Structure 1
């Protein structure tokens, strides 16, 4: 794997983050019969709302750009506060998916959390089977499933789970 680095997000990264967000929603919007310009406006508005929410609600989080050889390939938003780490969001461009990058980043965060005696949690879109499978392979378990009407599942990992498994 080529060198992967993380750095804090700056304002100049917003166009990349906007494009990344649109990529993560492309399959969901594909069947929607809107004109391309309307879809783009919707995605831009949704990105703006999400970004403002994350930055405001998780002000103490690390908002990190994932780079490979200096080129942006994703984002990792991670809150590192007791009672545990929270993966707010992790996303990679399509070309970088399935190459072990997310696994390596999450595993590193798990190791850091474990060294501090902390657990880790996240929410995964219930339609995102690939992400859920990744999280389960990394030891996360569903801790809250509000039923088919909820869009996300709450998942949790702790080093204690590994000791008892």
Structure 2
């Protein structure tokens, strides 16, 4: 199923994460929570500790919730720019986490990865599930325009669960 992710368009590639990627994965956490540096009065060492706890919590939390998850680093022409955590049990796939460093955000790389996952899931005849922030209208529109269907969210929910089920055409590609 994951063979189609090795080489993607626009110089992108996805490879299994390695222990040597830990500092890069930490940078992703730092970028994600960069607003804390300007909105909190925490001393630098406490902020650094908080970021380390966040990375550790993500790693352990994902491992407990998604024991079949595989972890990837996304590269652009050999430079690490993002990560993909994918739970796949052979019958269904779920994007657990997809994120990019600040300088790689908003360039369509996430869309490229999702489209490759759709193709791989179509070939494997398995559905793909994605969780999206409810206020991320652009991502919701993109996913729905590519056949994802949203489950009705609970009132005030911060996230929306969307599922793509392969069509007969997708399974032939």
| TM-score bin, normalised by smaller chain | 0.7 to 0.9
RMSD of the alignment, in Å? 2.6
Question: If the length of structure 2 is used for normalisation, what is the TM-score?
Answer: 0.78
Larger RCO: 1 or 2 (CA < 8 Å, sep 6+): 2
> Secondary structure of 1:41's partner?
helix
Q: 1:133, CA displacement in angstroms?
A: 3.8
- State whether structure 2 residue 42 is matched by structure 1 residue 35: yes
Structure 1 segments unaligned to the other structure (5+ residues): none
Q: 1:81, CA displacement in angstroms?
A: 2.3
Give the Cα–Cα distance (whole angstroms) in 2 for the partners of residues 70 and 151 of structure 1.
35
Match of 1:141 among 144, 149, 162: 149
Q: Is 1:6–1:65's contact at 8 Å kept on the other side of the alignment?
A: yes
- State whether structure 2 residue 19 is matched by structure 1 residue 11: yes
Structure 2 segments unaligned to the other structure (5+ residues): 1-8
Where does residue 96 of structure 1 map in the other structure?
104
Where does residue 139 of structure 2 map in the other structure?
131
Aligned residues: 161
Question: If the length of structure 1 is used for normalisation, what is the TM-score?
Answer: 0.82
Give the Cα–Cα distance (whole angstroms) in 1 for the partners of residues 138 and 37 of structure 2.
18
Where does residue 50 of structure 1 map in the other structure?
58
Q: Which moved more, 1:8-17 or 1:54-63?
A: 54-63
Give the Cα–Cα distance (whole angstroms) in 2 for the partners of residues 92 and 120 of structure 1.
20
- State whether structure 2 residue 123 is matched by structure 1 residue 154: no
Offset from partner CA, 1:74-129 (integer Å, 9 cap, x none)? 00111222542101111111222222221111111111111222111021223444
